[in-house]
């Protein structure tokens, strides 16, 4: 059984930031530099986690906690690791951490054409509540604005638990196991 490790990322962790930048270069069209990514992680409102196969970052995600809302900023999985449930695991972890940090709701923007991401977010209860025309400058594509219901309701906590169980089963069937390192 292959074990993946999920751990909190600090801006001082050069290897994590470099690995995250590689994943971004392979997955997103709006490229971030390592310096820009480090500044993003360093911001007092941000919280980021990386998913590792041994020493290689295979996915990561993060959000900003703004008062009582979590704004999901990034979620990316290395192309060789996509369609294995890693994005689902990362999103679930971020929503649990947002709830623990005091967020009552979560929001994000996603490309209107990104049907795979939209399907993932819908499984976690996100709903489209707005549109930002021409938000993505590389191709003038619209962004859809998604929001969750309240994170602190029994119904939403049940959705999180159900998704976590599905991820665990899917990982098991693929010979994967996820270990979470405690947050600092």
Active site residue 121: yes
Whole-angstrom Cα distance, residue 173 to residue 84? 10
Burial (CB < 10 A; 0-12, 13-18, 19+), residue 33, is: exposed
Angle at 78 between CA 50 and CA 76, to 5 degrees: 60
Strands of the sheet with 56-66, listed across from one edge: 127-136, 141-147, 105-111, 69-77, 56-66, 46-53, 2-8, 176-180
What are the φ and ψ backbone dihedral angles of 110, each rounded to 5 degrees?
-145, 145
Active site residue 124: no
What are the φ and ψ backbone dihedral angles of 140, each rounded to 5 degrees?
60, 25
The catalytic position among 40, 69, 97, 109 is 109
The catalytic position among 40, 48, 69, 121 is 121
Ranges of H-type helices in the chain: 14-27, 34-42, 86-100, 115-123, 154-173
Tell me the catalytic residues: 109, 121
């Amino acid at each position: 059984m292959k074990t993946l490790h999920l751990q909190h990322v600090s801006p001082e962790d050069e290897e994590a930031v470099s690995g995250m930048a590689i994943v971004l270069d392979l997955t997103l069209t709006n490229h971030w530099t390592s310096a820009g990514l480090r500044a993003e992680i360093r911001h007092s409102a941000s919280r980021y986690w990386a998913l590792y196969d041994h020493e290689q970052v295979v996915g990561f995600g993060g959000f900003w906690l703004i008062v009582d809302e979590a704004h999901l900023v990034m979620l990316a999985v290395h192309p060789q690791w996509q369609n294995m449930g890693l994005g689902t695991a990362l999103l679930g972890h971020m929503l649990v951490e947002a709830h623990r940090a005091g967020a009552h709701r979560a929001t994000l923007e996603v490309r209107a054409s990104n049907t795979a991401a939209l399907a993932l977010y819908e499984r976690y209860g996100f709903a489209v509540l707005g549109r930002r025309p021409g938000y993505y400058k590389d191709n003038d594509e619209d962004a859809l604005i998604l929001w969750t219901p309240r994170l602190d309701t029994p119904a939403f906590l049940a959705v999180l638990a159900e998704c976590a169980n599905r991820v665990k089963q899917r990982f098991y069937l693929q010979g994967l196991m996820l270990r979470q390192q405690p947050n600092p």
